[in-house]
C-alpha cells in the first residue's frame, strides 16, 4: 500500500535519498509516485502515474536539496492519475499521506465555503487544505497539526513541509504506521523500515496522535497535549543487503530460499512473556489472507494434540460479528506486517472486551505487536515480495511450538532438528516441469483433507495472487457434492495427501477426478504409487506438527514457476499491496 519517505539533512541530496526510499518501498504496491523538495528556498513538486521509473525520468538528481518528501500511492479516493498522486500542495503546506481521512467530505464542504478549490478527488488534498485553513487561525505549525489530529477521523500518516519553516520536516500519525529514522546531521521519515536501511538502521516509532518536528540535528516528538515525549530508539537487525535480491531473479524466490534459516531462527529464538496457556479453555485465531491459512493449520494441530477448541476467523468478519468468549479465552492474531487494518481493528475489539490477546507478528514494534498483551515474533526478516512465503512458514513454525507447549508433549516436535535440511532438500527439487503442465490452464483445483485442506487454501491463494490463474481449494470429500461438474479432460488437480489415516480416502477422491479426465499432480509423503495420478511430488515425511512446513514448499514453488512462465510481475502482482492498511 502507499509508501512515504522524507529527508532533512546537510550531507546528502534529499531527492536521491527520497527516490531510493521509494524504490525500497516498491514492494508494497502502488500506482503512481511523486516527490516534493526544497531548492533555493522554493518548493518543487514532480508526480507521475505508474512506476517510479516514470518519476525518475522527470527528476534532475543534480539539483541540490536538503529537505523533501516522497510518496508512492495506491489509489483509494480517485483513480490512479498524476492529479491524484501525492504530494499535494495547498498554499503554505505540502503533504504526503497514507491511510484514509474518513470525514474528508465534511471538511471539504467547510473549505469550499471558505474559498478553497481542489485539483484532485483525494482526501489527501482536503487534509492538506484543512491544515492550511487551521494554520491561518493558529499561526503555529505544532498547534495546527495538533488541532488537525482532533478533527481528522480515520487513519493517517502524514509527512508535512510548511514553506514558513524550511528548517523542519513535520510528521503526524494515527493508526497508519510511520517511523522517524536517525542519521548523523540528517534525519528521515518513512512508512516502513526498508525505506531507510540504505542509510541508517536506527529508528523510532511515532505513536497515535503524536507530532514529530524534525530538523537536521534534532527530533522532537510531542503528544496530543503538545508535551514533549521521550522516544525509544530501535536498531533494525537485518541489513540493507539482506533486503535486496542477492542474485535471485525475484524476491519471492530469494525469500523461499531463506526458509531453512527462518525456520531455525524462529524456533530457536528467545520467547519471553508468554501467556500461561494452561488457563485457556478456548482459543480464537484471527487474521487475513495467508496468515488466516496458518491459523487453520494451528486450529487442526491445537485441537488434535492439545484438545482445546479453536475457532479461526477472517479479521474483516470477526471485528463486526458477535464473538463468544470469556476470561478463559485467548485470542491469537497473526500478521506478517503487524499493520493489517482489519486484524488491528479486531485486536482492539478484543482488548476493549478485556480478553487476553497474543499476536504472532514479524515486524518488531508494529502496531499489532504493540497493542497485544503478549507477542511472539516470527524471525522471517524483511519480506519484500507481496506474496508471503518465508513469513508464512515462520507462522506455521510458531503454531507447531504453541501446540507442543499446550499439549506439553515434546514428542510431537521430535523431527525439529532435521527440518532445516529437509526444507532445503524440498526447495531444491524441480518444479518447472510440473509448472509447464499447468501454466496455460484457466482453472486449477487443489484438493486435500484435514490439515492438507488448509495447505490447499494457501497453495490456491499463492497461485491466484501471482499468476492470475483462477484456482479453488476444496476438501477432497466435498467435491462430489457439486464442484466435480467442473472437472473435464486435462483440468489440473493438485491433490495433497500427507496424513496416513486419511490417505486411502483421499486417493478415492483423486480417483473420482481422474475418472473424469483430470490431470492429477499428487503431493505426498507416503510411498504409495498407482495409476491415479499423472505426476507425483514426493516430500519428506516428518511428524504431523511440522509436516505443513514441508508441504507448503512445492505449492510456493509451483506458483512461482507458473507465474514466471506467464511473465507475471511476481514480486509486485497487480492490484495487491504488501501491507493492507485500509479496511
Site for ligand AGP in 57-116 (CB under 6 A): none
> Nearer to ligand AGP by C-beta: 146 or 343?
343
* Residue 283 region by backbone torsions, left for phi larger than 0, else alpha for psi between -120 and 50, else beta: beta
d(CA 339, CA 359): 12
176 binds ligand AGP (CB under 6 A): no
Q: Is 162 one of the catalytic residues?
A: no
Give the nearest distance from C-beta 399 to ligand AGP in angstroms. Answer: 14
Selected binder of ligand AGP within 5, 187, 316, 343 (CB under 6 A): 343
d(CA 540, CA 558): 17
266 binds ligand AGP (CB under 6 A): no
What angle separates helix 123-138 from helix 141-151, to the nearest 10 degrees? Answer: 130
> Nearer to ligand AGP by C-beta: 191 or 290?
290
Give the nearest distance from C-beta 339 to ligand AGP in angstroms. Answer: 7
d(CA 498, CA 539): 9
Contact range with ligand AGP by CB under 6 A, out of 383-391, 445-453, 493-501, 512-520: 383-391
d(CA 393, CA 551): 10
> Nearer to ligand AGP by C-beta: 394 or 513?
394
- From the list 2, 128, 456, 568, the catalytic residue is 2
Helices then strands (H, E): number in the chain? 17, 25
SS3 381: coil
What angle separates helix 419-427 from helix 259-267, to the nearest 10 degrees? Answer: 160
335 binds ligand AGP (CB under 6 A): yes
DSSP, residue by residue, 389-455: SHHHHHHHHHHHHHHHHHHT-GGGGTTGGGHHHHHHHHHTS--HHHHHHHTT-SEEEEEE-THHHHH
- Angle at 288 (CA atoms; ends 286, 294), nearest 5 degrees: 70
Contact range with ligand AGP by CB under 6 A, out of 117-125, 282-290, 318-326, 429-437: 282-290
Give the nearest distance from C-beta 384 to ligand AGP in angstroms. Answer: 12
- From the list 49, 108, 254, 578, the catalytic residue is 578
Site for ligand AGP in 562-581 (CB under 6 A): 579-580
- Which grid coordinates are listed for 405? 507447549
Contact range with ligand AGP by CB under 6 A, out of 197-205, 331-339, 408-416, 552-560: 331-339
Q: Where are the alpha helices (DSSP H) in 118-180?
A: 123-138, 141-151
Q: Answer for the pair 567, 464: CB distance below 8 angstroms, yes or no.
A: no
Site for ligand AGP in 454-493 (CB under 6 A): 465
332 binds ligand AGP (CB under 6 A): no
> Nearer to ligand AGP by C-beta: 15 or 287?
287
Neighbours of 276 (CB within 10 A): 9
> Nearer to ligand AGP by C-beta: 148 or 387?
387
Cα–Cα distances in Å, from 557 out to 344, 408, 469? 30, 34, 15
SS3 200: coil
388 binds ligand AGP (CB under 6 A): yes
384 binds ligand AGP (CB under 6 A): no
> Nearer to ligand AGP by C-beta: 300 or 560?
560
Selected binder of ligand AGP within 190, 212, 331, 386 (CB under 6 A): 386
289 binds ligand AGP (CB under 6 A): yes
> Nearer to ligand AGP by C-beta: 173 or 462?
462
Contact range with ligand AGP by CB under 6 A, out of 10-18, 107-115, 386-394, 530-538: 386-394
> Nearer to ligand AGP by C-beta: 43 or 582?
582
d(CA 552, CA 430): 15
Selected binder of ligand AGP within 38, 387, 451, 542 (CB under 6 A): 387
> C-alpha 541: how far from its chain's center?
31
Residues that bind ligand AGP (CB under 6 A): 288-291, 335-337, 340, 343, 386-388, 465, 579-580
As annotated, the active-site residues are: 2, 578
Amino acid at each position: 500500500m502507499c509508501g512515504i519517505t522524507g529527508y532533512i539533512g546537510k550531507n546528502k541530496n534529499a531527492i536521491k535519498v527520497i527516490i531510493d526510499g521509494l524504490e525500497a518501498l516498491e514492494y508494497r504496491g502502488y500506482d503512481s509516485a511523486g516527490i516534493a523538495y526544497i531548492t533555493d528556498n522554493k518548493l518543487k513538486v514532480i508526480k507521475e502515474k505508474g512506476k517510479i521509473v516514470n518519476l525518475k525520468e522527470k527528476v534532475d538528481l543534480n539539483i541540490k536539496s536538503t529537505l523533501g518528501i516522497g510518496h508512492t500511492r495506491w489509489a483509494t479516493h480517485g483513480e490512479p492519475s498524476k492529479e491524484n498522486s501525492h504530494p499535494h500542495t495547498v498554499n503554505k503546506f505540502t503533504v504526503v499521506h497514507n491511510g484514509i481521512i474518513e470525514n474528508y467530505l465534511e471538511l471539504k464542504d467547510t473549505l469550499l465555503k471558505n474559498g478553497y478549490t481542489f485539483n484532485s478527488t483525494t482526501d489527501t488534498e482536503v487534509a492538506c487544505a484543512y491544515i492550511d485553513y487551521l494554520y491561518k487561525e493558529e499561526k503555529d505549525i505544532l498547534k495546527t497539526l495538533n488541532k488537525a489530529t482532533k478533527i481528522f477521523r480515520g487513519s493517517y500518516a502524514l509527512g508535512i513541509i510548511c514553506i514558513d519553516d524550511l528548517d523542519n520536516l513535520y510528521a503526524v500519525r494515527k493508526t497508519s504506521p510511520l517511523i522517524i529514522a536517525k542519521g548523523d546531521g540528517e534525519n528521515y521519515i518513512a512508512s516502513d523500515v526498508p525505506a531507510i536501511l540504505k542509510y541508517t538502521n536506527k529508528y523510532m516509532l511515532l505513536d497515535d496522535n503524536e507530532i514529530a518536528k524534525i530538523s537536521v540535528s534534532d527530533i522532537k516528538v510531542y503528544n496530543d497535549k503538545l508535551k514533549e515525549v521521550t522516544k525509544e530508539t530501535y536498531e533494525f537487525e537485518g541489513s540493507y543487503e539482506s533486503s535486496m535480491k542477492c542474485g535471485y531473479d525475484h524476491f519471492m524466490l530469494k525469500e523461499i530460499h531463506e526458509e531453512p534459516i527462518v525456520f531455525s531462527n524462529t524456533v530457536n529464538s528467545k520467547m519471553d512473556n508468554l501467556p500461561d496457556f494452561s488457563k485457556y479453555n478456548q482459543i480464537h485465531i484471527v487474521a487475513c489472507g495467508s496468515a488466516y491459512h496458518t491459523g487453520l493449520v494451528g486450529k487442526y494441530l491445537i485441537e488434535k494434540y492439545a484438545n482445546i477448541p479453536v475457532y479461526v476467523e477472517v479479521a474483516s468478519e470477526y471485528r463486526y460479528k458477535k464473538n463468544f468468549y470469556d476470561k478463559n479465552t485467548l485470542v491469537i492474531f497473526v500478521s506478517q506486517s503487524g499493520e493489517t487494518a482489519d486484524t488491528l481493528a479486531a485486536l482492539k475489539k478484543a482488548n476493549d472486551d478485556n480478553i487476553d490477546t497474543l499476536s504472532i507478528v514479524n515486524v518488531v514494534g508494529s502496531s499489532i505487536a504493540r497493542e497485544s498483551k503478549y507477542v511472539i515474533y516470527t524471525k522471517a526478516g524483511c519480506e519484500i515480495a507481496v506474496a508471503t512465503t518465508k513469513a508464512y512458514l515462520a507462522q506455521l513454525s510458531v503454531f507447531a511450538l504453541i501446540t507442543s507447549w499446550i499439549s506439553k508433549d515434546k514428542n510431537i516436535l521430535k523431527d525439529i532438528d532435521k527440518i532445516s535440511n529437509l526444507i532445503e532438500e524440498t526447495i531444491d527439487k524441480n518444479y518447472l516441469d510440473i509448472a509447464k503442465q499447468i501454466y496455460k490452464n484457466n482453472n486449477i483445483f487443489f484438493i486435500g483433507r484435514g490439515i492438507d485442506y488448509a495447505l490447499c487454501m494457501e497453495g490456491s491463494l499463492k497461485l491466484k495472487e501471482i499468476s492470475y490463474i483462477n484456482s479453488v481449494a476444496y476438501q477432497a470429500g466435498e467435491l462430489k457434492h457439486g464442484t466435480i461438474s467442473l472437472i473435464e479432460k486435462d483440468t489440473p488437480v493438485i491433490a495433497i495427501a500427507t496424513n496416513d489415516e486419511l490417505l486411502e480416502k483421499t486417493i478415492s477422491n483423486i480417483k473420482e477426478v481422474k475418472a473424469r479426465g483430470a490431470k492429477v499432480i499428487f503431493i505426498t509423503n507416503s510411498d504409495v504409487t498407482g495409476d491415479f495420478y499423472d505426476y507425483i511430488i514426493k516430500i519428506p515425511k516428518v511428524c504431523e506438527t511440522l509436516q505443513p512446513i514441508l508441504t507448503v514448499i512445492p505449492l510456493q514453488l509451483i506458483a512461482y514457476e507458473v507465474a514466471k512462465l506467464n511473465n507475471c510481475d511476481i514480486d509486485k502482482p497487480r492490484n495487491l499491496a504488501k501491507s493492507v492498511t485500509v479496511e
